[in-house]
């Protein structure tokens, strides 16, 4: 009888461990889960193509400094030049808008000037919606993994929202974020078409002034989530006057 009871208890513990295995997920914007247990990999989650771009919330310990403690040295210019390589080759020039979103523009300029954006993939591209890139942690082409790309950011603190009344037309550039409006970090997206549902919900940082044809030809992803196999890449990103 004792052996039977021990066996029953053991089975109950195993089943309980499976049923209550810790895994927190957020089905927002078709990106991978916000947080998974350390022993499980993040898989893409398919959601409607009209869902909004986002990035994963920062991992614990990522933000040791507060935003007001961070001083960045950034170039003077406000033109973001992106050389694209892969299925399409060309240059995209984005006119940044420091008067609209000063903190976000400062972050983009710093990451570009330090080379953090170089060789980062366009990991999520949805036809009729947008092309998303900027995951400086998990989106580098040499370590590219579809299950992780889009879940990372820089080591700098997340940014408070700087929403405006600028509409999300084709060519407009916005910052990706998690469900928290104040969670943008390094990822951004370039609009392929006008999507009114994004207006006032995401921070606009600029607009394409040259090379929209390159944006329009960036390799599309598969499924409604837009995750890209063998993605196109930002081979070089710089700030010019």
User: Bigger pLDDT: 77 or 43?
Assistant: 77
User: How do strand 124-126 and strand 172-175 relate by DSSP bridges?
Assistant: unpaired
Q: What is the pLDDT of residue 53?
A: 57
- H-helix or E-strand containing 55? none
pLDDT higher than 70, residue 4: no
The more confident residue out of 43 and 5 is 5
Which of the pair, 97 or 29, is modelled with greater confidence? 97
Q: How far apart, in whole angstroms, are the C-alpha atoms of residue 46 and residue 27? A: 9
In 3-state terms, what secondary structure has residue 72?
Answer: coil
User: Cα dist. 135→77, 143, 156, 186, 189 in Å?
Assistant: 23, 12, 13, 6, 11
Residue 25 has pLDDT above 60, yes or no: no
Is residue 188 pLDDT above 80, yes or no? yes
Does the pLDDT of residue 189 top 70, yes or no? yes
The chain-wide mean pLDDT, for the chain, equals 79
The closest of 80, 71, 62, 61 to 103, measured between CA atoms, is 71
Reported as a pLDDT band with limits 50, 70 and 90, residue 28 is: very low
Q: Note the pLDDT of residue 71.
A: 64
Residues 6+ apart with CB under 8 A from 46: 30, 223, 224, 225
Q: What is the pLDDT of residue 32?
A: 32
Average pLDDT value for residue range 84-102: 98
Q: Which residues contact 129 (CB under 8 A, 6 or more apart)?
A: 49, 50, 191, 192, 193, 195, 226
Per the listing, tokens 């950034």 go with 74
Inter-residue contact 56 to 34 (CB < 8 Å): yes
Question: In the chain, what are the domains?
Answer: 2-58+74-240 (2.40.100.10)
The tokens of 228 are what? 């890209």
Percent of the chain topping pLDDT 70: 71
pLDDT score recorded for residue 41: 34
**pLDDT above 90 for 59:** no
Residue 170, pLDDT > 70, answer yes
Confidence at residue 35, expressed as pLDDT on a 0 to 100 scale: 27
- Residue 76: exposure state from Cβ atoms within 10 A (0-12, 13-18, ≥19): exposed
Average pLDDT over residues 129-158: 94
Instruction: Report the alpha-carbon distance of residue 169 to residue 171 in Å, rounded.
Output: 6
């Amino acid at each position: 009888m004792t052996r039977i009871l021990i066996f029953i208890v053991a089975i109950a513990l195993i089943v309980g461990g499976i049923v209550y295995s810790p895994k927190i997920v957020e089905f927002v914007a078709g990106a991978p889960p916000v947080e998974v247990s350390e022993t499980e990999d993040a898989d893409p989650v398919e959601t409607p193509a009209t869902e909004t771009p986002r990035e994963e919330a920062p991992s614990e310990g990522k933000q040791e400094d507060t935003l007001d403690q961070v001083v960045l040295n950034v170039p003077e210019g406000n033109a973001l030049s992106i050389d694209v390589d892969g299925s399409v080759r060309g240059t995209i020039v984005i006119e940044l808008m420091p008067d609209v979103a000063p903190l976000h523009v400062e972050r983009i300029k710093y990451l570009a000037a330090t080379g953090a954006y170089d060789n980062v993939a366009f990991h999520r591209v949805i036809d009729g919606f947008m092309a998303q890139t900027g995951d400086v942690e998990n989106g580098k082409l040499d370590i590219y993994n579809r299950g992780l790309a889009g879940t990372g950011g820089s080591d700098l603190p997340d940014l408070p929202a700087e929403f405006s009344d600028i509409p999300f037309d084709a060519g407009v550039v916005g910052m990706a974020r998690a469900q928290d409006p104040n969670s943008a970090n390094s990822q951004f997206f370039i609009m392929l078409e006008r999507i009114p549902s994004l207006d006032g919900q995401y921070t606009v940082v600029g607009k394409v002034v040259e090379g929209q044809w390159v944006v329009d030809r960036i390799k599309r992803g598969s499924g409604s989530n837009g995750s890209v196999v063998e993605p196109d890449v930002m081979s070089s990103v710089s700030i010019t006057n």
